[in-house]
A and B are shown apart, each in its own frame.
Chain A
Amino acid sequence: MSSTAIQIISRSKYYNWLVKNLFSTWVNTILTVIALIFVYQVGSFFLNWAIFDADFRYNFQGELIIDRGFCSKNIVPGEYGACWAIIFARWNQFMYGLYPIEEAWRVNLIYALLPLAIIGILFDKIPFRRYFIYFTFIFPFLAYFMLYGGPGLSVVGTNKWGGLLVTLFLGVTGIGLAFPLSILLALGRRSKMPIIKSLCVVFIEFIRGVPLITLLFTANVMLPLFLPDGVNPDNLLRALVAVTLFQSAYMAEAIRGGLQAIPRGQVEAAQSLGLSYWQTTRKIVLPQALKIAIPPIVNTCIGLFKDTSLVLIIGLFDLLGIGRAALADMTWTKLYYEVYVFISLVFFIFCFGMSRYSLYLEKKLKTDNS
């Protein structure tokens, strides 16, 4: 009895929601119907293209696709959808670039450990967080050793790195290095010491006033000029410097926003208790300011992650660069949609993840009792 009653109530609840939100007036009903038709058309077209009519590794005749001539859509034009075989064929390059395939396990290991290295920073209420944080600090050295090589491991030059490896390397390392730098810049910009303050203002405004592409070119061409003879950092490192500086300027402004939101009384209270400037900053100001600044910080991180694809312009093969290289291959050429949809999907997964994390934090901060 009671369960049917509940069913009726819950059914009427959905019914009420539908009526109220989608069919409340004639205009609303017409708009709802038009929108549904539109979603259906676009959605079914895309799903048919991407999945139902698509080739993955084998074409409609059951043959393994080894070049674009085997794609169903190229055998029977107009009948079939995407030909994802190019992604399978080029998978290793998308993931590792030209990294020697017998050494690819090293990259895989780092991919697998990366989540463990950042989980301690992202979430504050996980068990054994302290150990995750320790691991976060060990990870860069471990990653460097595993990826580049050293005693016991063969050296793989960064000119062989590519694809997702370069994208993640620039994104994660850029963000990781830019974070402490941006805190110093933001503090410096609010400093009472005129020289430090103007240095920080000039740096931030200069970097923000210049496109990342310009910085990448500059780093590529000019960095060697500033370094002593014989020191010739490789392309990836030059790109990393440009990306880090760029990111630190934007992040610094996000953090400055957080710093400005802290009432003056907080600093005064800390000072009146005898805390020094650095103690006040570390214990009172930054914990509160960073909390406020996390959503805009994540925003800049999403921007940076996507901007890493610009490095293809200075000859690095990030995910996008590898995709373009695949398209330039005569055996696979012209499969533009497949390659760009796949690359978009990979970027989307990471950026959407960051975006959801930012939303999660905003909710968490609202319910936090401070």
Chain B
Amino acid sequence: MSTDQVIHLEKVNKWYDDFHVLKDIDLIVNKGQKIVICGPSGSGKSTMIRCINRLEAHQKGTIVVHGTELTNDLKNIDLIRKNVGMVFQQFNLFPHLSVLDNISLAPIWVKKMPKNEAEDIAMSYLEKVKIPEQAQKFPGQLSGGQQQRVAIARSLAMNPDIMLFDEPTSALDPEMIKEVLDVMIQLAEEGMTMLVVTHEMGFAKTVADQMIFMDEGRIVEQASPDEFFNNPKSDRTKLFLSQILNH
């Protein structure tokens, strides 16, 4: 079992000045698991996954990814970032680079891959997210859904074995949500380890094998989707689900 364990958070605490964002977070993620994290805004769910690739630093507790502990050691941070991909709510594509350059940039500069090899890989991932014809365009010329798919391809091009999704569909128009979720479902079916912060409960029911509900910096409930949706234990989870499912 323990060799399958790819992420381990133990008693993780984080403060923004006086504000206690994460309180004693314990979390174990096994290889190939798909974990969907939900909760009201300000509950710390984004902060938690941003701690996993050190976009945010935690102050107490330990975070171990692939047996490497996250500390201030830059070498460890680099090592972990190479294996952990991230997709953001606002896509964060590089507007001054073409789609192809957006994707091939990190393989060329981080993995020191020859340019044409990196571009071949970039094209193969663009095909995977079904927009190879947009390779020469700039991010500003694409729709939100296309941009988010490019962002996923950009992340995958580094060949990570863990993917973090931080509300990947929250900034999208409703008709574009499906095209992004479809790519994520496909990724899940291929066995990628995924941590997804989202309020797309349909998606959660389809792919998640663990649901996490967070509130006020704590993990309030962690259960299988079946348990979580049909028989939630805490009142706060019930309240949250009733609000999110009824609307």
Contact = CB atoms under 8 A, between A and B. Distances in A.
Do A and B bind?
yes
A271 B110 CA distance: 11
A263 B93 CA distance: 11
Contact of B94 (A269, A279, A369): A269
A265 B140 CA distance: 16
Nearest to B103: A273
Secondary structure dominating the interface of A: helix
A352 B140 CA distance: 33
Interface in A146-178: none
B118 to A, nearest CB: 12
Contacts of A288: 94-96
Contact of A284 (B55, B94, B155): B94
Interface in A252-283: 263, 265-266, 268-276, 279, 283
A274 B78 contact: yes
Q: Classify the secondary structure of B's interface with A.
A: mixed
Given A266-B92, A288-B96, A273 B78 contact: no
A262 to B, nearest CB: 10
Interface residues of A, number: 20
B90 interface: yes
A20 interface: no
A18 to B, nearest CB: 40
A291 B55 contact: no
A279 B106 CA distance: 10
A370 interface: yes
B96 A275 contact: no
Given A268-B55, A370-B138, A274 B92 contact: no
A193 B92 CA distance: 26
Most buried by B among A274, A283, A284: A274
Interface in B90-105: 90, 92-96, 105
Interface of B: 53, 55, 78, 81-82, 84-86, 88, 90, 92-96, 105-106, 109-110, 138-141, 151, 154-155, 158
